[in-house]
Amino acid sequence: MNRSLVGKVAIVVGASRGIGKGIALQLAEVGATVYITGRTLLPDGRGTSLTDCAEEIKKRGGRAIPIQCDLEKDDEVKELFERVSREQNGRLDIVVNSAFSSAQEHLDNMGERKSFWDLPLEPWTQNINVGVRGYYTCTVYAARLMVPARTGLIVNMSSEAGLTYLYGFTPSYCVSKMAADRLASDCAQELREHGVTCLSLWPGATRTERVMEWVTNLPGDETSPNSVHKNRVMLNSESNEYAGKTIVHLASDPDIMKKSGRIFTTGDLADAYGFKDIDGRSPPDFVRRLRDRLSLKGYTRLAAWVPSFVKIPNWMLYAYYQLL
């Protein structure tokens, strides 16, 4: 078994379910001691919890320490990092900002197709307070431990919504992801001289618990747009541990500093490091892999002729979205 992160200490914020849970599972599986945080400590009947995640990590032979923490409460965030410092003699190697508190609201909105002015204001508060201010607070406290040690990795989980409007997602979601990307870039400028890496990671469509429940209940027959989306995108998407495999490789990379301040898709890094998902597949990269993007748009015959290694340059993506 790969034990490349034995002795490393990690914090995964937002690990009770979804991508955060998958990241925690992968980090612990390769030997890291992982502090998993979130608002749901015990099972509440609405999904998995931190204790569920910790139990699964234990079954895999890893070590997890669950800590209930609300990113909207500064004192709880401060206590989280103080506790890690006390228990690990000041050591902290990896922090992953993966908290996301309005997933259900966005899924509901994709089904109902409401305009932003017809929605309540709570998603703005959740997206900005958790996905921007919470990320920043964790980055501040992480830096206070990592800078003296002159080493560390901070990853902000973001998405393509940071670059363009995504239909069905509220403007507040897109703003929060753009801010997460900029936060990683700007913090990296000051952290670089201290040996600390900060970057932003875009997972693709991911089979999280809530997403799969939503997909299963999509209305329509096999020819409906919903079924086409389900079969072409969601059932061919990333597992919730794919991003975790990405971060394991990042944390093991001796030249990681070259990636600081930048934005990567999980597909970018899977190609660079040469790994596949937990089921042995290479999930599509609908952002940068030309073949997959053509397939997403329905040009399946044309896509079949495009080699998988052909990528859309970042400058072209930015230019394209500016013209939309």
Distance between CA 222 and CA 233 in Å, rounded?
14
The pTM of the full predicted model, rounded to 2 decimals, is 0.90
Identify the pLDDT of residue 115: 79
The token pair at 181 is: 């990307």
Backbone angles phi, psi at 279, to 5 degrees: -95, 10
| Contact criterion met (CB below 8 Å) for 15 and 50 | yes
Identify the pLDDT of residue 44: 66
Identify the pLDDT of residue 122: 77
Domains of the chain listed by start with CATH number: 9-283 (3.40.50.720), 289-323 (no CATH)
Identify the pLDDT of residue 229: 56
Identify the pLDDT of residue 149: 97
| Dihedral class, residue 311 (left if φ above 0, else alpha if ψ from -120 to 50, else beta) | beta
Torsion sign over Cα 103, 135, 19, 75: negative
Identify the pLDDT of residue 21: 94
Identify the pLDDT of residue 319: 81
Q: Active-site residue numbers?
A: 173
Identify the pLDDT of residue 116: 81
Identify the pLDDT of residue 20: 93
| Contact criterion met (CB below 8 Å) for 283 and 277 | yes
Mean pLDDT for back-to-back runs of 10 residues, the chain (324 residues): 88 92 96 94 74 94 95 94 98 94 54 74 83 95 98 96 78 91 97 98 82 64 54 73 97 97 95 95 90 86 92 85 67
- The b-or-e profile of 103-112 (16+ CB within 10 A means b, else e) is bebbbebbee
Identify the pLDDT of residue 298: 81
